């Protein structure tokens, strides 16, 4: 754990899950800027009801609860990892489990409640921010203080225009340590249009109907990588348990289910919105099939030696951070979850070099299909 020297004293913070050679912190300069601004402007009083959106690993919630033990705080976001990180950081700083009410992105409080202060860490996904601002509207009044933050290079006019359109007049701060704040004045006259999410998507070439929440990858159409993977998905009567790892809207698992009618499908993703989308889409497109859905970190909670086939399109971003550690974790855990003879099928951009990592881990890796941009790799769990 690293120590953040907050205005209230040292706060221990760590990313989740912990890794031996962690190079990234659980907070950034935008978190520091936000907290310092809140303290300097005395935005919190003993009766404040505070809402935090997209708190990374609980850095904001844990720090503010340390300084204001009586604070009524609700924190919501779409990342299971951030929620588990928040719980771990609360425990590390000796905060009780009820110090922060952690909710996910589709789980908001009952209407009629309002917040005096709203803090927003601006997410990478503009559509997620749009969905959140629509959901936020019933919980704010003209007297609500709203402050948003991100690193300056990630703050774009599109963010500011969205705040102006859906909440009210928006101004920005000067940059400090390459971070910037946005101050949004809640205006009851701001646009109160219907939330466009979740969005419906028809894939006529596959005869599929999909419904995608705001934070789902490729929610507006079929991306070229997924299209290529779908064209080459395996079919084999040996596949009794198939896992769609990092499932997104569940498209891979749905088509795999259609190709392998005897298989049970398991969908996993760390995004609450992704798993909700996958669950809905499977029920619509495979109404008489059995499947299970789990919001989790890669394959955490999935039984070892239980799967015959794992399908994986690994992400190489975590919010605004480019990283390969998620893919590497997916590969390691897949080897543990697959039965002997079980297969991991991975698609990736050719330049990512996944074949090197897979061959080192599994002892084998072959190309199932490739084109000028993507490669589909297959590794098999051999007998020890």
Q: Which of 131, 134, 184, 135 is nearest to 155 (CA)?
A: 184
- Structure confidence at residue 220 (pLDDT): 82
What is the rounded (10 degree) CA torsion for 283, 287, 292, 293?
Answer: -10
What is the rounded (10 degree) CA torsion for 330, 331, 332, 337?
Answer: 80
The pTM of the full predicted model, rounded to 2 decimals, is 0.94
pLDDT along the chain (384 residues), means of 10: 95 91 91 98 85 97 93 94 96 90 93 92 96 96 96 97 96 98 90 91 95 91 92 97 97 98 97 98 95 97 97 71 76 97 95 94 97 96 81
Supply 334's token pair.
């897949």
CATH topology identical between 2-185 and 199-380: yes
- Structure confidence at residue 325 (pLDDT): 81
- Structure confidence at residue 190 (pLDDT): 80
Q: Where are the domains of the chain?
A: 2-185, 199-380
| Phi, psi for residue 314 in degrees, rounded to 5 | -65, 140
| Phi, psi for residue 116 in degrees, rounded to 5 | -80, -30
Specify whether the CB–CB gap between 289 and 267 falls below 8 A: no
Q: Which of 256, 246, 202 is nearest to 348 (CA)?
A: 246
- Structure confidence at residue 9 (pLDDT): 96
HSE toward the beta carbon, residue 165, CA cutoff 13 A: 14
Specify whether the CB–CB gap between 308 and 339 falls below 8 A: yes
Tally: H helices and E strands in the chain: 10, 20
Which residues is 150 bridged to in the sheet?
Answer: 180
CATH number for the domain whose boundaries are 199-380: 3.40.50.150
- Structure confidence at residue 11 (pLDDT): 97
- Structure confidence at residue 320 (pLDDT): 44
- Structure confidence at residue 73 (pLDDT): 93
HSE toward the beta carbon, residue 154, CA cutoff 13 A: 19
- Structure confidence at residue 316 (pLDDT): 61
Fold of 2-185: Rossmann fold (3.40.50)
Neighbours of 237 (CB within 10 A): 9
């Amino acid at each position: 754990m690293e120590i953040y020297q907050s205005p209230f004293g040292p706060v221990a913070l760590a990313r989740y899950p912990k890794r031996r050679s962690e190079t990234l912190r659980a907070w950034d300069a935008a978190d520091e800027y936000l907290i310092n601004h809140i303290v300097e402007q005395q935005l919190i009083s003993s009766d404040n009801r505070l809402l935090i959106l997209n708190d990374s690993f609980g850095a904001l919630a844990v720090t503010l609860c340390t300084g204001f033990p009586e604070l009524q705080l609700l924190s919501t976001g779409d990342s299971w990892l951030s929620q588990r990180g928040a719980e771990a950081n609360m425990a590390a700083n000796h905060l009780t489990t009820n110090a922060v009410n952690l909710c996910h992105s589709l789980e908001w409080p009952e209407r009629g409640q309002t917040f005096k202060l709203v803090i927003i860490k601006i997410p990478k996904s503009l559509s997620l921010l749009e969905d959140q601002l629509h959901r936020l509207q019933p919980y704010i009044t003209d007297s609500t203080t709203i402050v948003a933050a991100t690193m300056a290079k990630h703050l774009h006019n599109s963010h500011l225009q969205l705040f102006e359109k859906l909440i009210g007049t928006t101004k920005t701060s000067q940059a400090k340590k390459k971070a910037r704040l946005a101050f949004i004045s809640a205006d009851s006259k701001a646009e109160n249009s219907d939330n466009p999410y979740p969005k419906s998507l028809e894939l006529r070439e596959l005869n599929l109907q999909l419904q995608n929440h705001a934070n789902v990858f490729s929610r507006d159409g079929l991306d070229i990588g997924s299209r290529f993977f779908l064209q080459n998905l395996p079919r084999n009567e040996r596949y009794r348990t198939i896992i769609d790892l990092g499932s997104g809207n569940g498209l891979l698992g749905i088509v795999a289910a259609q190709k392998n009618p005897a298989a049970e499908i398991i969908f996993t993703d760390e995004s609450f919105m992704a798993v909700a989308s996958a669950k809905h889409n499977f029920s619509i497109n495979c109404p008489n099939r059995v499947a299970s859905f789990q919001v989790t970190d890669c394959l955490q909670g999935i039984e070892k030696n239980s799967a015959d086939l794992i399908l994986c399109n690994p992400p190489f971003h975590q919010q605004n951070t480019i990283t390969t550690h998620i893919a590497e974790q997916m590969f390691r855990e897949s080897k543990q979850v697959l039965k002997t003879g079980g297969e991991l099928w991975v698609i990736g951009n050719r330049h990512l070099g996944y074949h090197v990592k897979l061959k080192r881990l599994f002892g084998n890796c072959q190309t199932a299909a490739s084109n000028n941009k993507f490669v589909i790799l297959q590794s098999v769990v051999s007998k020890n």
